[in-house]
Structure 1
Amino acid sequence: MKSKARTPIPRVAVIGAGVTGALIANELSKLREKNSIGEEAPPRYDVTVIEQGAIGNGSSSRSAACIRQQFSTQATVHGMMYSVEYYKNFAKHVGKKPSEANVLVQNGYLFLYRDPQRFQEAATTAVMQQQWGLKDVEVLGPPEIRKKFPFVNTLELTGATWCPSDGFLRPVDIYSEALENAVRNGAKLMRNTQVNGATKRGNLITALKTTRGNVPCDIVVNATNAWAPRVSQMLEGTGLPIMSLKRFLWFLNTNHAPGVMEFPMIVAEGGQYFRPENSHQVMLGHAVDITPEPRFSNEDQDVVPWEYDLENADGLGMQTWMELTSWVPVLEKFGKEKHGTTSGFYGTTPDHNPFIDYDPYVPNLIHACGFSGHGIMHAPFTMKIVCALVEKGTRQWTMELNGKILDISIFAVDRNFDNHAEAMVI
């Protein structure tokens, strides 16, 4: 009797080895078919990750790496609730013991407001978040703020919103552990490999052309974020309206002052923010209007113009610190202990929601990009959507997550950007 020929395993090529690409590769590599008696068969997908540099080459290694569930769109709130739970249990997703892969620090997120109208808008949004299932988000008045956060200057405050289950992440551990587990499960990782074109049959990509030879594939995932528009163009996909915007982070030494790690992520009304980085440093940030750099190079990621350098007494870094000291006066004593400035690129869309969708012109190309500064926190949710797209093989407008049907059309590549703009962007 002739043995039955084995059906070829679909080949998935993930371009980009940051957190998003790493989690997608890890999840797809774990999927297994079951045979007729319930035993595990070979992997359902043959996964290859292609990275032009070292893993985490782009924004993932240069991110503020915060995570919050306080958003203004329902699907994103549910997705971020899923992401928090995923990162809380990250170790089990990568085959580790809990003590070996602790990547989430839940210090909370505190949004502070002086303007009554902006506070009322934030309070209204918080009520919607509670209705959507985010039960631990709170609206606080000045007396409650003073009680919970005595280090905050409440003299001019109108109020705040607070979610204790928000916090920040350890991205290097996330993409390193996820890729390591993907490789253990059979995925291939191609570092320092440039994608420079594709072989196609009609509109379908059949192989990626790289500096290390052709990579045959049935599905391609563009997880390159700020690089995504040029990757899509190279693969003859749709034009992605993603702006590459430089963002800066500033680090101050605290001389191991007590209580530093107890600070939450604090966001002032003007968008200035800070959080603890470790027991001896705090991180400051502020997203401001800046000229996009669509043709940036790898090296450009770390170029810090003088006007954004923390060493410049009149630069944006020191201005951000000075503004934050008016909200949290204790920061003033850290301003003379400068540690340094880092930078990287946001991949920003017109409505600040990402693209997670099949390309309308290249039916086997999935885009997972344009996160507008939220890529790492969004990555588990992104992974769930991408895996659903891979499994279904076509564009999807809804998805089940934790028993709820979510509208994921807000992540469509060709959506109307006026319909679902994300209001809570830092």
Structure 2
Amino acid sequence: MVSFENDILWHVYPLGFTGAPVHTAHDARPRLGHLEAWLDYAVELGVSGLVLGPVFASETHGYDSIDQYRIDPRLGDDANFDTFVSACKERGLRLVLDGVFNHVGAGHPWLGRALSEGPAGEYADFFRIDWSDPSKPLLGDFEGHASLVALNHDSPAVAEYVIDVMTRWLARGVDGWRLDAAYAVPSRFWAEVLPAVRAVHPEAWFLGEVIHGDYATIAADTGIDSITQYELWKALWSSLADRNYFELDWTLARHSEFASTQLPATFVGNHDVTRIATSAGPHGGVLALVVLMTVAGIPSIYYGDEQAFTGTKEDRAGGDDAVRPAMPQSPADLAPWGAEMLRTHQQLIGLRRRNPWLVRSTTTTTHLSNTRYAYTARPATGPGALHVELDITDGHHALVRDDAGTVVFSYDG
């Protein structure tokens, strides 16, 4: 995990970013070149790595995979992927892929074989299937989605399969895996699989998607390197929207405790949530970013947030589309209104890079009211400090001072 400790990541949903069709008939086109054209922009933003959403062959949105040994034809092929990996490495950008190992798409060919061959077939034990009535097998799904069929994590064959998929792509130059829906998979499964992968690729990094639960226990029981910090994400936007900094203060106390044993993956946006510029407004988004960049953890920026993109996540078919938009062919085609937010991101990312101790820092509250909040971030050991002041009493104001009292960042919106 040492190799990722001081990284700042750019989270990208490739199918949306490149404008690939998700709900209509698919067309095979090498769209990875579209994303490659943005790698210099990522470097200029200040990030050191990319977390990509699904890139493997799937039926629609990528999380319903049908072949995790093959690049999605809507993005390209193996050669296109190798070119993309090389382009990342040339720029010093790490690459983390989305591993959807809790479930597959209902159209997966192995599932078709399991159902046609019956309970004695080769893949009968590969999926969570109730064979009580062989004439009417019942499929286990993921959170009520019939299009997502759960894998049987008690099957040794499933463990072997996941190990094989991970090691193959790591051997192709990938640096780590985001474990989608890691919370839905038994901890014992990850505890078996991850050491086997690390035995071949000891530097591999594993980021687990955990929406709720006991983060510290899950991390300890699974061996996952970093857990998504949804508690902090929620407090960042809702403390601004509700004008209630008591929520953020309570959450940061828990965050410091959690980060003392395991480095969380921190964020203000991702492919599954309403944009921060919508939930808290663009000025609120800046204040949320100030916190993200001055507390412990491994932060990520969701593509478009650095341009103040808006978008609401809705619980309906196609409800993710607004937060997974296509990007222009190149950064030069961006609208000018996002330039100020981009500069603000660069300033705060630069601030974090100049204070690498922030990754394992702790925070102490120095002032708290509904609309004003101040805290000091200090390293776990050694000298140094940053003093952060946030004020939403009238407008949106932020001030960061170093330990000498020098203002190192200010914002008035």
Task: Give the alignment's TM-score, normalised by structure 1.
Answer: 0.24
Task: Give the alignment's TM-score, normalised by structure 2.
Answer: 0.25
Structure ranking higher in helix proportion: 2
Structure ranking higher in strand proportion: 1
